[in-house]
Amino acid sequence: MQVTNAIQEVNRHTIAVLVDNESGVLARVIGLFSGRGYNIESLTVAEVDAGEKLSRITIVTSGTAMIIEQIKNQLRRLVPVHKVHDLTIEGPHVSRELALVKVVGTGDKRVESLRIADIFRARAIDSTNESFVFEVVGATDKVDAFIKLMEPLGLTDVSRTGVVAIARGPNPI
């Protein structure tokens, strides 16, 4: 059997999963990934419909086309899972991540961190004489870039939400 490179190519996919908000559902999803050896690059979850008790999980994962198809089908097999949508292949989507970034320093470095924060439209949401906590929102690579630039300026702590994503246009998943 000849295997072409296209089939073996590993790509990153953002998958939206609508689940019943019941105890153990997150453990089922995470257990599925660890039990079958799939990657989780990021995972976010929160209730999105209190009336119907539905939560939305956004998973960023990577794999070959065959593995990604497996991941989606395995997710669909879980009884509390209602919808599985691969935002990466189903059309354009927007994705955002929020990070809280703590930078400690004084003098020029402190000024420079503020200037860069301004360029990235990051907000200082906490401040002392020797530190800032910045809130930065954007696509993953923008957040990555911001954190990288803060490294030499006294970066001491980072907390990231992981990716949330939604399809462009009027249609829900």
Binding residues (CB under 8 A) for another protein: these are 1, 3, 7, 20, 23-24, 27-28, 31-32, 35, 66, 69-70, 73-74, 76-79, 82
How many C-beta atoms surround the C-beta of residue 31 within 10 A?
A: 12
- Closest separation in Å from C-beta 166 to another protein: 23
* Identity of the residue, 81 or 99, whose beta carbon is nearer to another protein in the bound complex: 81
* Identity of the residue, 18 or 164, whose beta carbon is nearer to another protein in the bound complex: 18
Q: How many residues are listed for the chain in this entry?
A: 173
- Closest separation in Å from C-beta 37 to another protein: 10
Rounded Cα distance between 41 and 30, Å, is 12
- Closest separation in Å from C-beta 156 to another protein: 35
Rounded Cα distance between 10 and 173, Å, is 25
Residue 16 burial (CB < 10 Å; 0-12/13-18/19+)?
A: buried
- Closest separation in Å from C-beta 21 to another protein: 13
